[in-house]
Every structure is written in C-alpha cells, then in structure tokens.
Amino acid sequence: MPGPSVIRTLAIENYRSLSNVVTELGSLTVVTGANGSGKTSFYRALRLLAELARDGAIPTLAREGGMRSALHAGQRSASPVAMRLGFASDDYSYAIDLGLPQATDASGFRLDPQIKTEAVWSGEVLRPATLVADRQGNRVRTRDADGDWHTAEWRLGEHESILSALADPAETPELYALREQAKRWRFYDSFRTDADAAVRRPGLATFTPVLAATGNDLAGALATIDRIGEARALRAAVDTAFDGSVLELTEDEDGTCRIGLRQPGLRRPLGAAELSDGTLRFLLLTAALLSPRPPGLLVLNEPESSLHPSLMPALAALVADAAERSQVVVVTHSADLMRALRPSARTLELVKTGGVTTVAGEGLLDAPRWTWPKR
C-alpha cells in the first residue's frame, strides 16, 4: 500500500479571500504576508482539506460558520457556486468540489454544503487514464486492480466524502491510503498558556508520541521524547533557547509528571505554573516538532506568538530539523523567524488586492499544472 508522500501542489478556489490559488509546496514552506493578506485562510484551507476527508462537509464547514461564510465574498462568475480544494502528490492526488443545494431541493437545509464532485488520481496530473475513483453527485465509480471501472449500486449522501465513506484497505487501498495520510496531518495554532491552562498543571508520565493539538499532554510528550526519542535534541534546544537552562522532568510514585526548568543563578527549578507564556509555548512547540512519530504534514500557524525575537533562531533550527522527517508548513508574520528559515525554505508571500489573495510573484503562467474535475 502506498505510504504518505509530499504534497507538491495545493489548489484552492473560492475559499474566503483565496479566489484562485494554485501553488507549489516544498518540504519546508513558509507562508507570510501582511495582516489581513490571507495567511489564516491559507492555514484553514489546509486544515479543511484534512477534515473533509475525515468528517465530510457539514460538521467541518459548520465550524467555519457555514458554507456562505467560507465562500469567497468577492465577485464571482455567473456559473454555479463552487468552493474547490485539492492537492497533488507523487503518489495519489485529490480534489473536492462543494456547492449549495439547488432551489428545488426539498431537504430544507439550503445553506448546507453539498459535495458535487470528487476525484482521486495517481500522480500529480489529473487525466482520464490516471483516475482511480470519482463521484458525480451521489454516483461513485472506482477502478479495480485490472483497471476496470465499477459503479457502486448504492449512492453516497450529499455530505459524505468518498474518502470518509469508501476507504477500505482491501477494496479501495488508494482511498484508504489518502484518508490515513490526511488523518495524520497535524495542525498547531491555539496553545493555551494562561494561568488556568491545563499545561501549567502536572501531567501523566504516559507514552505520548504525539502532542495533542491543545498541548494539554505536554508533560507526557516531553517525557516520551526524553525516554525514547530525541532526548539530546530536546535538551540542546532548551539549552540554546534559554541560555544554559536545563529541562527537568520528575515523576512521582503515582505517575504524575512535573515539568521544571533549572536556570543559571536560581537555587531551584521553576515549575510549569511559574514559567512565562513564551517559555511554555517554546516547550510546546519543541514537543510538537520533536515528536517520535513524525507526521506526513505538520502545519504551524503563527508559532512566534508570545515568543521573544531572541528565540527565533532556536525555533527555526527545530523547524528545519523537523522538515527532514516531515513536510512542514509555517504560517508566520515574524520577520525574524522568516529570515532564520529562508535558507532552507520555499517562501510564499501572500498579498491581497481588492479582497482577493494571491501569491506575490506568481502569475497564471507560473502556477503548477492543475485541472479541476468537472461537474
């Protein structure tokens, strides 16, 4: 069964300010731009792709405020409403086309999205010969190992993705591989470090190879890295970032794990409840980037929040190291972080003109080859 592969092309149409963006991603991609240029929409589009594959359309877009909220609000053609997302990779590629119900729809939920078309194909370029599965409305076709097409006798629901409904490792291994790939993508954007945050309390010293999106299991994640992962890299990152400080992880008899940071000149280590927001956030990012179970895609949204500029070189070193094991996308407006990452990263600068976000310096002729599946 094919494993996860690097995303070569990301395509977004009519999602918030991203009216028509087709761009290349590298093993490490930095997305930057002025406030309001569309960076957050770019991040959300990537996350939306993963969630559509897992959950289908309604629950995902409900969290976005509904289909009307997620649609590009600028001028559109007279053709039917469409919001389309897709990616291309060396192995298998995917595209989904979302629209609104027809006026004659009797369901009563006229603002809920409907999946109009989906396609899965081999390689980067969509052609009839490379298709392995597609859907038109409720009709679904899959290609078997001999290359023959089979139309399903039943029909998908209007809100069900073929990846969420048909990913069977035996019958449709390509769909299964794609869904599992999307499920393993990781997104970090909202660590709580306030006084009442769970991360400031002792945790459990339990096997935690993947830091949760909330970061609430930081103690377990750091203990796991220390015991079976990149312990040397973890301690080096702390030493570099905090001028010779030493991370101390202690475990009580009941399995409670406590985080301590011993700093030069202090007689005792500071506990998690005493650490600054920036220090705690750096430890959270370190745990995410040194995961013993690296994802196919790791996306960080504004990781510089609450961090002093002096921490950017240490953070950049962790990001660059993670990009050796995972494809990494960093969305940032920190000039210091961008400068530190630039030597090893592909940089996408987003600009917004007339309510439309584009990638600076990339015209239609510069975009990677991309074709949307037809309705």
Asked whether residue 154 is assigned to any structural domain, the reply reads yes
- Residues 159, 44 share a domain: yes
- Residues 202, 173 share a domain: no
Asked whether residue 325 is assigned to any structural domain, the reply reads no
User: What's CA 364's distance to the chain center, in Å?
Assistant: 25
Range of the domain at 151: 7-185+350-359
- Residues 90, 71 share a domain: yes
Beta pairing partners, 292: none
What span, in angstroms and rounded, lies between the C-alpha atoms of 241 and 111?
A: 49
Asked whether residue 24 is assigned to any structural domain, the reply reads yes
User: What pLDDT, on the 0 to 100 scale, is given for residue 159?
Assistant: 80
Neighbours of 343 (CB within 10 A): 8
- Residues 211, 181 share a domain: no
Asked whether residue 311 is assigned to any structural domain, the reply reads no
- Residues 156, 78 share a domain: yes
Q: How many domains does the chain have?
A: 2
Asked whether residue 27 is assigned to any structural domain, the reply reads yes
Q: What is the model's pTM?
A: 0.92
- Residues 38, 79 share a domain: yes
User: What pLDDT, on the 0 to 100 scale, is given for residue 74?
Assistant: 67
Tell which of 294, 309, 333 closes a domain. 294
Beta pairing partners, 352: 357
- Residues 258, 205 share a domain: yes
The torsion region of residue 329 among left (phi > 0), alpha (psi -120 to 50) and beta comes to beta
Tell which of 268, 294, 320 closes a domain. 294
User: CA angle, 182 as apex, 62 and 217 as ends, to 5°?
Assistant: 80
3-state secondary structure of 149: strand
Neighbours of 35 (CB within 10 A): 8
The torsion region of residue 159 among left (phi > 0), alpha (psi -120 to 50) and beta comes to alpha
What span, in angstroms and rounded, lies between the C-alpha atoms of 364 and 343?
A: 26
- Residues 86, 219 share a domain: no
Asked whether residue 308 is assigned to any structural domain, the reply reads no
Q: What is the pLDDT along the chain (375 residues), one digit of tens a residue?
A: 334 578 999 999 999 999 999 999 999 999 999 999 999 999 999 999 888 877 766 777 777 777 878 887 666 555 677 899 999 998 899 999 998 876 555 555 666 788 899 999 999 999 999 999 999 988 999 998 888 998 987 778 888 888 877 767 877 888 888 888 888 899 999 899 999 999 999 999 999 999 999 999 999 999 999 999 999 999 999 999 999 999 999 999 999 999 999 999 999 999 999 999 999 999 999 999 999 999 999 999 999 999 999 999 999 999 999 999 999 999 999 999 999 998 889 999 999 999 999 999 988 778 899 999 998
Asked whether residue 269 is assigned to any structural domain, the reply reads yes
- Residues 231, 259 share a domain: yes
CATH number at residue 107: 3.40.50
- Residues 215, 138 share a domain: no
User: What pLDDT, on the 0 to 100 scale, is given for residue 107?
Assistant: 56
SS (H, E, C) 20-81: EEEEECCCEEEEEECCCCCHHHHHHHHHHHHHHHHHCHHHHHHCCCCHHHHECCCCCCCCCC
Question: Which amino acid is it at 88?
Answer: A
- Residues 211, 168 share a domain: no
- Residues 24, 92 share a domain: yes
Asked whether residue 324 is assigned to any structural domain, the reply reads no
Tell which of 270, 294, 318 closes a domain. 294
228-232, long-range: CB within 8 Å, 24+ apart, which pairs? 228/292, 229/290, 229/291, 229/292, 230/290, 230/292
Cβ atoms 144, 168 nearer than 8 A: no
User: What pLDDT, on the 0 to 100 scale, is given for residue 350?
Assistant: 97
The torsion region of residue 113 among left (phi > 0), alpha (psi -120 to 50) and beta comes to beta
User: What pLDDT, on the 0 to 100 scale, is given for residue 112?
Assistant: 73
